[in-house]
Structures are given as structure tokens and as C-alpha cells.
Amino acid sequence: MNRVKCIISYDGSDFVGYQVQPNGRTVQGEIEKVLSRMHKGEFVRIHGSGRTDRGVHAKGQVIHFDTYLDLKGEQWTRALNAQLPEDIVVLTTESVDCSFHARFSAKGKEYHYYLYRDTKRNPFLRNYAFHYPYPLEIDSMKKALEFFLGTHDFTSFSSAKSDIEDRVRTIDMFRLVEEEQKLIFKIKGNGFLYNMVRIIVGTVLEVGEGKRKPEDVLEILQAKNRGAAGKTVPGHGLYLYKVYY
Amino acid sequence: MNRVKCIISYDGSDFVGYQVQPNGRTVQGEIEKVLSRMHKGEFVRIHGSGRTDRGVHAKGQVIHFDTYLDLKGEQWTRALNAQLPEDIVVLTTESVDCSFHARFSAKGKEYHYYLYRDTKRNPFLRNYAFHYPYPLEIDSMKKALEFFLGTHDFTSFSSAKSDIEDRVRTIDMFRLVEEEQKLIFKIKGNGFLYNMVRIIVGTVLEVGEGKRKPEDVLEILQAKNRGAAGKTVPGHGLYLYKVYY
């Protein structure tokens, strides 16, 4: 068998999420359907670096699968893209050693979160950026970002529904970029808990609104309680940008 | 009665077109539904500068309607946007004289057509630009554009289905703009026949592919026959950019 790694991008708007579910269209389901067709009906399981939620996009999600087919990287890319729906694209494909695992070999991830700040809605961005027409103190937000850097217990910044025990994660990059009427949060770390990016962004927005101070982030981290942090921002502004190995 | 003019923008992806039809969601239908609600159930007809087809977008469509409500411009904008679906937005509203008519007062229109030229599909642009990964001779295309300028009978560049008799139109601006991996056609004229922009762009693409020479445009115009021109490019790359009064 050959193990194949693909970097893929998808528009999350019309998916109920990345992971196969009993009901609804999923990214995993669409790719497995195409692969199974290429393997004469034999089911092929794909493994992603992690799931993304309903409406969440990916510019650099990574998957792997095992196959007896003997295609070269670019042949895989072309064959998959010819059959995949228009909202999923394979960017690159390469052969990898069988010790590689899209999820367990991942060393880190980078997410981007897009805000659209114009006073009026933009119909073309309704699925691609969180419309946030309120004033924001950008300097306070930038100060708040620094408190997330380093290794912390992120219990306060993860969904209370999560039953993962080890909630210690390391954030090694967190930046705020202004591009015309967009404000982009760029965050990179060794791993992220369920809803972690969206709760972090929601909390930083409350700093930007003046409802919290930048240094409040320290207290929130120490509280280890989801109730201490801010709101969860919507999924449609979130992009899985890159997975690091 | 007061006559009100609105400049609106919409994402055409989820509409069967601008104009009300027996089946399917339309831009006109959605706006009339909101206005009728604001007028306590009394039906309010809106008039657009013209229709746009299925999948075609607008950044500056213009509509007008008559109302007994006494709201100021910005109040109309806010009230409509609060109730309109996310894929339609009112950009500005103003009171106009009752002699103004969105369609009959229009002096000209500007359309933009977007190509996306990367070799790979982009899932985020699937509804917003025509994916065209083939080589193009840009200089030949720019030469072809010049032959469209001025006043011509555009029968060859209009849908054979159209039963309009006067097919003479004047084009006063036609430019090609390269922006990263996008190629944008910008065309302005005193009026456009059914499918005219899409057939013109399709024909210029055939010049870019080397299948036709720039000066062939003259012959095509003289033929006054739809069969002489190139293919109609898809609607999802087209934007009604501005209506001139």
C-alpha cells in the first residue's frame, strides 16, 4: 500500500462540517466518495489533521489515505480535482512514509479569523467574514494578544462540551493584521481545543470594545472556567490556514 | 407619494435572477416582500435599471419605488437592510423627483467581468469569477477591445432569442485590468443587449487564445449574426457595477 498526503482547501459554506455525520454534506464524505469511485467501489477512509465545524473554511487542511493505486503526486491532484465538487480543491499531493499521520504527526496549526468592519453588510462576504461594524480599540487588542503567547491551560477558552483532559497548549504566534476594511487575526500554536480560536477572538473583541482590559486575559486563563471568557464568534469567519509537520 | 431611489448590491449566486418569475427566489421578489411588509401588506412594485440573469451579481444596481411613507434616505437604508436577506444590501437611498425612472432615465451602464486564471480552481471564487486556466495573449485582447468602442449594431453580440429591433449601442469604455491572478474586463456603454457583455467577453477570449485576430471583431459586427461571434461566458463572473443617470 502507498500512503498519500494531500493539502486541500474548501469553502465551508455548504458543509455541515469536515467530519462525516449521519446527516448532511461533509468534506470528508465528498472526498471519500470520489476515492471509493477511483478504487472501483472499495471504501477508502481518509484521515484529516482535525475536524472543522459547520461553515468553517480551510486554505490548507491536510489529509492522508492509503491506496494500492500507483499514481504520482500531480496525477492524484488532477484526478481528484476532476471529480471533486467545486467547493473542495486539492492543492498538492505527495507520497509519504507509512509513519506519517495527518492528525498524529501534526506539530502545529495556524488559523486565520476574518472580520469585516464596514458599517454596511457586504453580500459577497456574508459567508467569508464576520461582519463587525462597531468601533474597536486596536491597540488594546494588540496588547491583549500578547497574554495568549506561551504555554497555558486553555480550559477557559474551550467549549464546556469538550471532554479532553489535557488542556495545556502553546501559542507561538498571534497577530492582528488590518487590510482595508478587514481585520484578520492570525494565530499559530501546537494545537487548539474545541472552539478555542473562536472563543479567543470573541474575548479579544470584548477588549477592543473596552468591556475588558488586555491584562484581564491572565485572570481568565487562571480561572480555568469557560464562563470567564468572552463569546464564541461565528464559524464563517474562521479559516484553517496551515498545518505544520 | 414620494419616489425613492436606492443603489443596491447583491450576490447573485442564490437567485434565479433579478426579475420576479413564477418559480424561484429573485432579487426583486425579496425586496418587494420587505417593502410590502413595511407598507402593512400593501403591495409595492419596484423598478430596476434592468434585469440581471441567474448567477449575475450587482455592486451598483439601481431601483426606484413610490411610497406614502415619510422616511429620510438613511432611515430607508437602515430599515430595508434590517429586513433584507444577507445576500442583498442597500448601499444608499435618496428621494428623487417623480420624473426619475430607474430604467428609462438610465444614460449608461458599466459592467465588470472577472476571470480567475490560476491553474487550480479556487473554491472561494467558484461563484464569483469564471475559472479560465488557459494561456491568453493579453496584448491581442487589448487590441480587440478597441474595435468595440464607438457606435455599432451589436446584433452579432446579442442572444438570438432577443426580439428587440434597435440593436445599435455605443461603447465608450472597454478596459482589461490584471489584478494578481484575476483578469477583469471593464465595459461601459449607453445600453447593453441581452447577453451582450457575456458574448463580447467570450469573443475576446477567443482572440486571446489565438483562434481569432483582433481585427476580426469588425467582420463579426458587420455580419449582424449571432453565429459569427464567440461563446457566451458564464453568468457568475459578471457584475453590474454602476448605472449612470
Q: What is the DSSP string of A47-104?
A: EESS---TT-EEEEEEEEEEES----HHHHHHHHHHHS-TTEEEEEEEEE-TT--TTT
The answer on A184 and A66 residing in a single domain is no
For chain A, say whether B122 makes contact (Cβ under 8 Å).
yes
CATH of the domain at B137: 3.30.70.660
ipTM: 0.93
Which residues of A are less than 8 Å from B88 in CB distance? 123
> Looking at the structure, do residues B119 and B236 belong to the same domain, yes or no?
yes
Q: Which of A57, A89, A124 sits opposite B120 (nearest CB)?
A: A89
A230/chain B closest Cα distance in angstroms: 25
CA proximity to A55, closest of A154, A195, A208: A195
Residue A103, domain member (yes or no): no
pLDDT of residue B160: 79
Mark whether B67 and B123 lie in a shared domain.
no
**Cα(first)–Cα(last) distance of chain B, in Å?**
22
Q: Which range marks the domain in which residue A89 is found?
A: 2-96
Q: How long a stretch of residues is chain B?
A: 245
Strand blocks (E) in chain A: 2-10, 47-48, 57-67, 88-96, 108-116, 130-131, 150-153, 168-179, 182-189, 238-244
pLDDT in tens, A200-233: 999 999 999 999 999 999 999 999 999 999 999 9
What letter does residue B192 receive in the DSSP assignment? -
Mean pLDDT, residues B88-98 taken together: 97
Residue B199 has pLDDT above 80, yes or no: yes
- Residue A70: pLDDT over 80: yes
Residue B244, marked binder:
no
Q: What is the pLDDT of residues A18-52, one digit of tens each?
A: 999 999 999 999 999 999 999 999 999 999 999 99
Reported as a single tens digit per residue, the pLDDT across A4-21 is 999 999 999 999 999 999
Q: Helix or strand or coil: residue A13?
A: helix
Which listed residue (B53, B70, B139, B216) is catalytic? B53
Residues B73 and B141 in one domain: no
Q: What is the CATH number of the domain that holds A64?
A: 3.30.70.580
Identify the pLDDT of residue A164: 80
Tell me whether residues B10 and A123 touch, CB distance under 8 A: yes
For residues B116 and B224, membership in a common domain is answered with yes
Of A73, A96, A119, which marks where a domain is finished?
A96
Q: List CB contacts (< 8 A) between B128 and chain A.
A: 124
A233 and A134 within one domain: yes
Domain count, chain B: 2
Q: Contacts of residue B86 in chain A, CB cutoff 8 Å?
A: 121, 123, 126
Residue B162's pLDDT is what?
73
